[in-house]
């Protein structure tokens, strides 16, 4: 797995600045963060499994709770991009049943309590439920965010993506050429190399999934939980 420092070293070398007199770590880091965000979106759109996650701990929803959001108890995962599936079980029993996503909760269940959630809706950036009269455990299968903004003090920490050095190096170099070097011709050349590197990265990441039936996610799906 590459480090941010290795990606920036490659980018500087591509711009004939191996000593990093112009393309320093500090100068290049914002553009590496842009490259990381673009790579995240490519993985989301192509359903690359590295973005798949299940809540590592069971979410215990006590009786009467009907909303799960960023600031509730329990709360949504902090790295959540998009929910794929919710599962429920009576508290402590590990008898998991899939829940059904609906656009709106059934109105005939308003002002009632239930012993099983069964339905859930995504509204106002929160999970909406019909309040239960017992405590229920939840698990969430979801698309996760891979990266947080890399800070200068963390440039020697491994990034959580194998086989990504070429893409990140080329993309960072292309962005730096465009916005620091103000050389659109060189930026275009580097972007062409970026496309080839991305194809390799995605191809390696999907190789083990060729026997699994998957559906490419629609373009705007990655933005469902971001408020766009």
Q: Where are the beta strands (DSSP E) in the chain?
A: 52-54, 59-61, 67-68, 80-90, 97-98, 100-101, 119-123, 126-128, 136-144
Q: How much is the pTM?
A: 0.73
Q: Phi and psi for 146 in degrees, rounded to 5? A: -85, -30
- C-alpha dihedral (112, 117, 121, 123), degrees to nearest 10: 60
8-state DSSP, 173 = H
| Helix or strand holding residue 193 (H, E) | helix 184-206
Note down pLDDT in tens along the chain; length 228 residues: 899 999 999 999 999 999 999 999 999 999 999 999 999 999 888 878 788 899 989 999 999 999 999 999 999 999 999 999 999 999 999 999 999 999 999 999 988 889 999 999 999 999 999 999 999 999 999 988 888 889 999 999 999 888 899 999 999 999 999 999 999 999 999 999 999 999 999 988 765 554 445 444 444 444 344 443
Residues 6+ apart with CB under 8 A from 135: 60, 61, 62, 63, 91
């Amino acid at each position: 797995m590459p480090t941010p420092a290795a990606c920036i070293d490659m980018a500087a070398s591509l711009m004939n600045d191996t000593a990093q007199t112009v393309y320093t770590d500090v100068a290049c880091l914002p553009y590496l963060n842009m490259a990381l965000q673009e790579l995240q979106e490519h993985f989301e759109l192509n359903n690359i499994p590295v973005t798949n996650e299940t809540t590592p701990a069971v979410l215990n929803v006590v009786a009467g709770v009907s909303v799960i959001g960023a600031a509730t108890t329990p709360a949504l995962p902090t790295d959540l991009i998009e929910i794929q599936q919710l599962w429920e079980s009576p508290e402590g029993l590990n008898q998991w049943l899939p829940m059904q996503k609906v656009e709106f909760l059934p109105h005939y269940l308003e002002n009632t309590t239930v012993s099983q959630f069964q339905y859930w809706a995504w509204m106002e950036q929160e999970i909406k439920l019909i309040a239960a009269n017992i405590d229920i455990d939840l698990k969430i299968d979801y698309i996760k965010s891979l990266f947080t903004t890399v800070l200068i003090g963390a440039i020697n920490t491994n990034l959580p993506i194998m086989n990504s050095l070429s893409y990140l190096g080329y993309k960072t170099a292309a962005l730096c050429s465009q916005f620091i070097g103000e050389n659109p011709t060189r930026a275009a050349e580097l972007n062409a190399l970026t496309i080839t590197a991305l194809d390799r990265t995605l191809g390696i990441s999907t190789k083990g999934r060729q026997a699994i039936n998957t559906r490419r996610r629609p373009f705007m799906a990655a933005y469902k939980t971001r408020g766009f």
